Amino acid sequence: MALARLCHDAVRMETSPMKPLLSAIPDYPRSSTWFTAFIVDHKLRANSSDESKRVAAELAKLHIDAQILELDWAALDIDNPRSLTNLESIARRLRYRAIGKACASHGIGSLLVAHHARDQAETVLLRILTEYLGSGLGGMRSCAGIPECRGIYGVDQSGSGRLITTGGEAMVVEQGGVTIARPMLSLRKEELVAFCEESSVKWFEDPTNADPTLTMRNTVRSLQEKNTLPVALRADRILALADNINRRRVDVERTVDEIYSRTKITLDIRMGEATVRLPEEMQSHSSSVQATVLRRLLELVSPKDNVAVSQIAQTAEALFNERDAERSASTRSFQVAGVHIERSNGQLPRVTLRRATPSAAERETQQITLSFDSAGWSEWHLWDGRWWIRIQPPARLDSTASIRFLTKEDLHAVRRRLDKEDRRLLDKKLERAKGLQRFTLPAIICNEGSPQSADGKQVEVVALPSLGWR
């Protein structure tokens, strides 16, 4: 409720601690009705619905519209969520995905959450207990993409397309999505409670947070509140640690931004391939900077989400710090985060990044099958973490369609059914995808009911969407 009161004041007062944050948001509001509050009812207590309604009533007093989002445990076939050993992680995923979808339906691109200093201390201590090292000990970021929403169109870095034309062909590149901001990370809970009391705003406390047996976070919270932890693990020390790590992280990212702005990158969005001319001084930078630069480059073509710097540090060391003996080779290859990397040595070293050849398991997991009950477009699907694809249904609605990796057998079948001119056009499209690279591209397969086939299905490749062929 403290966050709601600050948002209410920010659009009515000339000075407010929220003004600097809100002024950076596009379409800065002129009235508090611009704000929409989302109240998540986790359905973990018998009276949680009543409490959600009371919170909504308090928000109405601040002229802020509210929507209650009820988590649907039954959809996961979970009858008693409180019995789950991983309740916190599942609830977190359900909560953020519900909020993300609500943001998309309301056209909201910026989400403010009320995490405060104690939440930050709990997060960092939990990461220490789970042996999480590196920059993650800086805790929650003050601003980042919304978590747990991978693959939700309009939420996960998508929803605002930009038309790019290369070689006379056009493709929409997605951007946008929902950004989460945490403006209260530096404030203690006691300060927020006092602010609500002074502002005559009711403070709500979720009773489940007080049960130290329910989740690991609750256990940590109980220990911190009772000051029973060793001095080195108490909140003030943990927050000082997080602050130091965050300052170093900011310095690294500032250097990476500067390097990235001077790096010449050619991105082939149809092939999912990036060609990079590295700045000459890369070898002189720290290992943290080198690994973060590599992560930034990998994000252009990798099927993976949230690649950790620690996972690619050794590859960055080998890629950016070649010794004289290694320099004599014309090319060197690496593979990390689902990406095949080639470094071509010369006066100006060039690095090419493309999707690594998928394994049999990846071919299985990256197959999306769609059924149709209407003539409209399907929902958007994030395929292989690289392309957003939607499909119009085939002529027969009892048919199904699949999105999967292209195979050699697919190409043979397609060529057999095409006439000479159509084969020539297909081969022209495929010229850009050399060797095994073409088998990292998506194919759309139609399965139509056909009495002519033994299994009752006629399987046909109907489109290679990234190549613009159908």
Q: Where in the sequence is the domain holding 380, given as residue range(s)?
A: 360-467
Within 13 Å, how many C-alpha atoms sit on residue 413's CB side?
13
Interacting residues of 327 by C-beta distance below 8 A, sequence separation 6+? 345
How high is the pLDDT of residue 321?
Answer: 85
Express each pLDDT in 338-384 by its tens digit.
999 999 876 667 899 999 999 999 999 999 998 887 778 899 999 99
Six-digit token pair at 199?
Answer: 């502002």
Tracing tokens 């919270």 back to the chain, one arrives at 221
Angle at 383 between CA 382 and CA 386, to 5 degrees: 85
One domain, residues 69 and 168: yes
Looking at residue 308, the DSSP 8-state letter turns out to be -
| Reported confidence tier of residue 70, pLDDT bands at 50, 70, 90 | very high
How high is the pLDDT of residue 342?
Answer: 94
Quick check: is 156 in a domain? Answer: yes
CB 36 within 8 A of CB 69: no
One domain, residues 104 and 153: yes
Interacting residues of 289 by C-beta distance below 8 A, sequence separation 6+? 252, 255, 256, 259
Within 13 Å, how many C-alpha atoms sit on residue 116's CB side?
11
Quick check: is 431 in a domain? Answer: yes
> CA 204, CA 86: separation in Å to the nearest integer?
25
CB 270 within 8 A of CB 468: yes
Express each pLDDT in 299-330 by its tens digit.
999 999 989 998 999 999 999 887 654 555 66
One domain, residues 7 and 74: yes
For 214-367, strand residue ranges (E) read 264-268, 273-277, 331-336, 339-344, 350-355
Quick check: is 267 in a domain? Answer: yes
CB 44 within 8 A of CB 206: no
In the chain, how many domains are there?
3
One domain, residues 284 and 205: no
One domain, residues 85 and 20: yes
Dump the DSSP string for 132-144.
--GGGGG-S-SEE
The helix or strand, by DSSP H or E, that contains position 23, with its residue range, turns out to be helix 19-23
How high is the pLDDT of residue 31?
Answer: 54
